């Protein structure tokens, strides 16, 4: 069991979840600022106004990364810090650019490799108000292309770029369930606007086209001199059949992954959507123009993989409702025999099952021709962690075991299965604003005391990863 000698490991965060300082240095509002201001949208009524105060504490964050031995750090840029309104003809905010340029310089000086995500869900609110944001293909893709070019030019030292984080979440949670910003859904009790049966598929398509445009810009205008790489990060869970003897449950396992991951990966690797989606969604799934296929197919230098959990999958019979996004199936934590997939966590959707990680790494590798994979997020919350004492919180043995099990499963996939995995970023460097769950759920390897000036306390898990990777990464 081992990992390649040039394997990169570290931690990940996202701008809206940690930065705070939402009115500092010319930053414009994002759709998450607007969403958080709507009563009832965030579990504890909070927002990213202060978060972990990381915008003002980059030095402290880098010291934290160094102290736990991280070789890499994945973070995202707040688009509305760079172009406050967001558009290609709107003013650029030099203070925002200067902030991230200095941060990258400081990371590199500390021996930490930056992995930059251009958009981790927090699109400028100005673009949503101006033309509907993600829903407007022509405008959004042109504006994102412009923003990407500004960043590629400003930070030539960054060698690893990610266009979008989890387009599934932007599409489904933002435009089907309305659980995430901008909160559009057919459920009129939740939103006055939205069409859950059509809008998510339009948004997903537009994100892929925008990704393709940004990759083309990078490869043609910057890669020849900068020598970096660019890809997209996709999220998805491992699947096991509820009844292994039922071929329809076995088939539904693949379909679940196709509706979550292959929705985005198939166009990038094959130039079309999965047949299972085409069959269920019909004309609600946008058609690819020849120009779009040329833009998107082959637009990954690496595959960014976010992964946390697994489910038992049970097929459903009959015609699925129009707002179904799973693929006409149920996701369960118990199988036909009553076996539980993994222990409870604070997150209703998350149960640890490390073997599923290895299985999914293999599934993706076989389907997409063994691409280079960076695991750009992996981690867990702990049930009741927010209600524990500081002494209990820093002794997070549950999280230590999660990382140990998952990293070893990844090492087996690498050394025994031929999976080309070259990086791993634990989620997350510190407790932070957990989107719709507010500050009630903690994913950090570092405790953040929100009541007392965002003071940081590394947990046992923060210190567990360096010895683990030291034992697994080959020396020669």
Give the separation between CA 239 and CA 346, rounded to whole angstroms: 21
Active-site position among 19, 113, 145, 166: 166
The Cα angle at residue 226 between residues 113 and 211, in degrees rounded to 5: 85
Cα dihedral 334, 338, 343, 345, rounded to 10, equals 40
- Judge whether residue 294 has pLDDT over 90: yes
Question: Is residue 258 predicted with pLDDT exceeding 90?
Answer: yes
Report the length, in residues, of the chain. Answer: 476
Q: Interior CA angle at 241 toward 397 and 306, to 5°?
A: 50
Domain boundaries, the chain: 8-472
Average pLDDT value over all residues in the chain: 98
- How many angstroms separate the CA atoms of 338 and 308, rounded? 22
257 alpha carbon, distance to own chain's centre: 16
Among residues 377, 379, 363, the alpha carbon closest in space to that of 442 is found at 379
476 pLDDT higher than 90: no
Answer for the pair 276, 258: CB distance below 8 angstroms, yes or no: yes
The answer to whether the beta carbons of residues 474 and 6 sit under 8 Å apart is no
**C-alpha to C-alpha distance for 14 and 429, rounded to whole angstroms:** 10
Q: Which CATH superfamily is domain 8-472 in?
A: Glycosidases (3.20.20.80)
Q: Considering only CA atoms, which of 320, 346, 353 is closest in space to residue 240? A: 353
Map residue 295 onto helix, strand or coil. Answer: helix
Q: Is the dihedral of CA 202, 208, 210, 216 positive or negative?
A: negative
Tell me the average pLDDT across 230-243.
Answer: 98
| Cα–Cα dist 441/43, whole Å | 10
Using the predicted structure, report yes or no on whether residue 60 has a pLDDT greater than 90: yes
State mean pLDDT over 452-468.
98
Both tokens assigned to 461: 């898990």
Mean pLDDT of all residues in 336-364 = 98
What values do phi and psi take at 157, rounded to 5? -75, -20
Q: Is 377 helix (H, G, I), strand (E, B) or coil?
A: strand
What sign does the dihedral 465-468-470-475 (CA atoms) show? negative
pTM for the model:
0.98
Whether 166 sits among the annotated catalytic residues: the reply is: yes
Closest by alpha carbon to 265, among 234, 308, 239?
234
Backbone phi and psi for residue 355, each to the nearest 5 degrees, phi listed first = -60, -30
> Ramachandran region of residue 166, left (φ > 0), alpha (ψ -120 to 50) or beta?
left
Which residues share a beta bridge with 306?
235, 377
Q: Do 22 and 70 contact (CB within 8 A), yes or no?
A: no
What one-character DSSP code corresponds to residue 117?
E
Closest alpha carbon to 162 in 259, 303, 24, 45: 303
In degrees, rounded to 5, the angle at the alpha carbon of residue 300 between the alpha carbons of residues 295 and 302 is 175
377 catalytic residue (yes or no): yes
Q: Which of 318, 310, 330 is nearest to 252 (CA)?
A: 330
pLDDT-based confidence at residue 337 (cuts at 50, 70, 90):
very high
pLDDT tens for each residue of 110-156: 999 999 999 999 999 999 999 999 999 999 999 999 999 999 999 99
Q: Among 229, 251, 228, which Cα is nearest to 241's?
A: 251
Mean pLDDT of 163-186: 98
Q: What is the pLDDT of residues 62-76, one digit of tens each?
A: 999 999 999 999 999
The catalytic position among 19, 145, 199, 377 is 377
Residue 307 in this model has a pLDDT that exceeds 90: yes
pLDDT at residue 319, as a whole number: 97
User: Rg (Cα) of the chain, in Å, rounded?
Assistant: 21
pLDDT at 161: 99
């Amino acid at each position: 069991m081992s990992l390649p000698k040039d394997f990169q490991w570290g931690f990940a965060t996202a701008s809206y979840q940690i930065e705070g300082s939402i009115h500092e240095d010319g930053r414009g509002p994002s759709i998450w600022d607007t969403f958080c201001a709507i009563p009832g949208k965030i579990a504890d009524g909070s927002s990213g106004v202060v978060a972990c105060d990381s915008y003002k504490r980059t030095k402290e964050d880098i010291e934290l990364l160094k102290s736990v031995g991280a070789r890499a750090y994945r973070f995202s840029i707040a688009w509305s810090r760079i172009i406050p309104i967001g558009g290609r003809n709107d003013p650029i905010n030099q203070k925002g650019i200067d902030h991230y340029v200095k941060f990258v310089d400081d990371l590199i000086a500390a021996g930490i490799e930056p992995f930059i995500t251009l958009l981790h869900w927090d699109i400028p609110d100005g673009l949503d108000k101006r033309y509907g944001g993600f829903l407007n293909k022509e405008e959004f893709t042109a504006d994102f292309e412009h923003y990407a070019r500004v960043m590629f030019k400003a930070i030539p030292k960054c060698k690893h770029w990610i266009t979008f984080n989890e387009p599934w979440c932007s599409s489904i949670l933002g435009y089907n369930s309305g659980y995430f910003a901008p909160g559009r859904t057919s459920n009129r009790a939740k939103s006055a606007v939205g069409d859950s049966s059509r809008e998510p598929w339009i948004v997903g398509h537009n994100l892929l086209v925008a990704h393709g445009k940004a990759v083309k810009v990078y490869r043609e205008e910057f890669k020849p001199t900068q020598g970096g790489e660019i890809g997209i990060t996709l999220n998805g869970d491992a699947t096991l059949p509820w009844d292994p003897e039922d071929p329809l449950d076995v088939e539904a396992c693949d379909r679940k992954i196709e509706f979550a991951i292959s929705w985005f990966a198939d166009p990038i690797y094959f130039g079309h959507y999965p047949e299972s989606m085409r069959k269920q969604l019909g004309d609600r799934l946008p058609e690819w123009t020849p120009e779009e296929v040329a833009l998107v197919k082959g637009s990954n230098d690496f595959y960014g993989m976010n992964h946390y959990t697994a489910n038992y999958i049970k097929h459903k019979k009959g015609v699925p409702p129009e707002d179904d996004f799973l693929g006409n199936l149920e996701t369960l934590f118990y199988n036909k025999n009553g076996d539980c997939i993994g222990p409870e966590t604070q997150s209703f959707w998350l149960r640890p099952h490390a073997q599923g990680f290895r299985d999914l790494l293999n599934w993706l590798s076989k389907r997409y021709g063994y691409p280079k994979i960076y695991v750009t997020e992996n981690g867990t919350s702990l049930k009741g962690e927010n209600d524990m004492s500081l002494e209990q919180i820093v002794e997070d043995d549950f999280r230590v075991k999660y990382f140990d099990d998952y990293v070893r499963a990844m090492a087996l996939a690498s050394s025994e299965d031929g999976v080309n995995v070259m990086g791993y970023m634990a989620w997350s460097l510190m407790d932070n604003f957990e989107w719709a769950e507010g500050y009630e759920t903690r994913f950090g390897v570092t405790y953040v005391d929100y009541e007392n000036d965002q003071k940081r306390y590394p947990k046992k898990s923060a210190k567990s990863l360096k010895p683990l990777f030291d034992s697994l990464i080959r020396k020669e």
